[in-house]
Structure 1
Amino acid sequence: MNIINPFKILFSPLHLFILLGVMYCATSHSFEKKTVYKYVSASNVTSFSDIEPIGRNFKKIVVDCYACKINSTVDWYRTKLYLSEFRQYISQAALLHSVDPAFVRAIIHAESHFDRKAISKQGAQGLMQLMPDTAQSLGVKNAFIAKENINGGVKHLAHLFKKYHGNKKLVAAAYNAGEGAVKKYGGIPPFTETKVYIERVDILHRRYQRAIKI
C-alpha cells in the first residue's frame, strides 16, 4: 500500500482554488499568513505546493487580508505601529501628491501590514495592494518594488481625495470596495468588510498622526 506524505502535496489549479478557500476560512480569526508556492513541474505542468519547492524556480503566493477580517481579534488601538519602514518613499510620495503621510501609513498597515510581497486572494499586489490593471494605469511597472508601489498607491489616494473632496471615509471605502461601489450606493457601500476597514483605517490614521508628531 502506498502511503501519501501529507506534507508533499501538489495542487492543480482547481485544487489551488479549493485550498485558497479553505485557507481563507481557516484564517478568518487570525492573521497568520498562509503561503502557496507556484512552479512548473518536471513534466512542464504548472503546479502548486504548500511547501517551498527545492531546486525549482517558484512564485510565492501569500494569502493575507489584514484589516478587512470581520471578526478580527486585533486591538487596533494598541497594535504595533510601523513608523520607520519605507519612510523615505512614503515621505516623498506624500509630498509629491499632497497626501497626509500618516494616512498613507494607515492604508499600508491596513492593506498589507507593511509586507511588500503580499498578494491578496483577489490578486492585489504589494504594500498598497494594487490590482495589476490599476498598477499599470498608475505607471507602476513592478508592484513588488516598494518605491513604485507606494508612489502609485499614493497617486491613487490623491485622486480619491480630490474626487471625494477630502472625505477620508469615502476615500477608504473606494480604496477597499472600488469607486464603482461608492457611486452605486451613493456613499459608503453596505458591505460589512468595507465598514470595518474604514473604521480600522481611521483608528490607524489617528494613531499614526499622533505618533509622527512625537
Structure 2
Amino acid sequence: MNDALLWALNTLLQDLLTPLMANSAETTGTPFSDWLTNATPPSSATSSSPSTVSAAINAAAAATGLAPELLRAVAQTESDFNPEAVSSAGAVGVMQLMPGTAAGLGVNPYNVSQNVLGGAEYLKQLLADFHQNLPLALAAYNAGPGAVTQYHGIPPYAQTQAYVQKVLSVYQNSSTDA
C-alpha cells in the first residue's frame, strides 16, 4: 500500500473512531485502538526514509492546498527533513510541532505523515488568521501567533526574523527551480 493511501486511511480512521474510543471503555487498550491512538502502523509510514518524508509532504500539500515547495521549505528550515528531530523547547519531528499544537490538531507528532499534515494544517490556519500574509504566518509558526499580534508584524526576535527570511528564500529558490 503506498504511503499516501495509508496516511489517508489512517487519518480517516482516526477522525472517525477517536471520538468513539474516548467514550467507550470497551475499545480502550485493544491493539487496534493502540495503533490508532499512537498512529504507528507497521509500515514504511513511520520510517525516516527521504521518500517517506517526501510522500508525506506531497500528501499534506494535496490535503491542504498548500504548495509542496512551501512545505518543503518549512520542513528543511525546521528540521532538515529529520523525523526524529526534537528541539530544546520540545518541538518534535519534520515540522517541529510542539506537543500541545499537535494535540490541538489531533495528530501524533511522532508519526511522519501526521507530523507533516499537522504542520501543513497549522500553517494553513495561520495563513487564514493573518490574511494570507506568508511572512506573518511563518513568523507565527516560529514565534507563536500571539507574538505576531503583539508586535503587529514579525516580532523583533533575531531568530524569528532569520527563520522567516530563510523559509522564504528556500521557497522562492525551489519555486524558480521547478
The answer to whether the 8 Å contact 1:157/1:171 transfers is yes
- 2:37 is matched with none
Per residue, is there more strand in 1 or in 2? 1
Residues 117 and 125 of structure 1 are in contact (CA less than 8 Å); yes or no, is this contact kept in structure 2?
yes
RMSD between superposed Cα atoms in Å: 1.4
Tell me by how many angstroms 1:210 deviates: 2.5
Give distance in 2, aligned partners of 1:155 and 1:85.
Answer: 19
**Aligned with 1:184 (options 125, 130, 150):** 150
Indicate the structure (1 or 2) with the bigger Cα radius of gyration: 1
Matched, 1:174 2:147: no
Q: How far apart are the structure 1 equivalents of 2:162 and 2:117? A: 26
Report the residue type matching 2:94 in the other structure: L
User: Residue 137 of structure 1 corresponds to which residue in structure 2?
Assistant: 104
Is residue 127–residue 144 contact of structure 1 (8 Å, CA) maintained in 2? no
1:113-150 residue CA offsets vs partner (Å, 9 max, x unmatched): 11100000000000000000000011112x12110100
Query: Using the alignment, how far apart are the partners of 1:114 and 1:92 within structure 2?
Result: 15
Offset, 1:209: 1.6
Q: List, as ranges, runs of 4+ consecutive aligned residues in structure 1 with deviation greater than 6 Å.
A: none
* Aligned: 1:207 with 2:177: no
Q: Find the counterpart in structure 1 of residue 130 from structure 2.
A: 164
Candidates 68, 72, 89, aligned match of 2:56 = 89
Q: Which position in structure 2 is the counterpart of 1:100?
A: 67
Gaps of 5+ in 1: 1-82
- Which blocks of at least 5 consecutive residues in structure 2 are unaligned? 1-49
Aligned identity (percent) is 39
Q: CA separation in 2, counterparts of 1:90 and 1:115?
A: 13
TM-score (norm 2): 0.69
Give the secondary structure class of the aligned counterpart of 1:86. Answer: helix
> Could you give the per-residue CA deviations for residues 165-194 of structure 1, whole angstroms, max 9, x where no partner exists?
221110110011000000111111011111
Aligned equivalent of 1:152, options 109, 118, 137: 118
Give me the whole-angstrom Cα distance separating, in 1, the residues matched to 2:126 and 2:51.
26
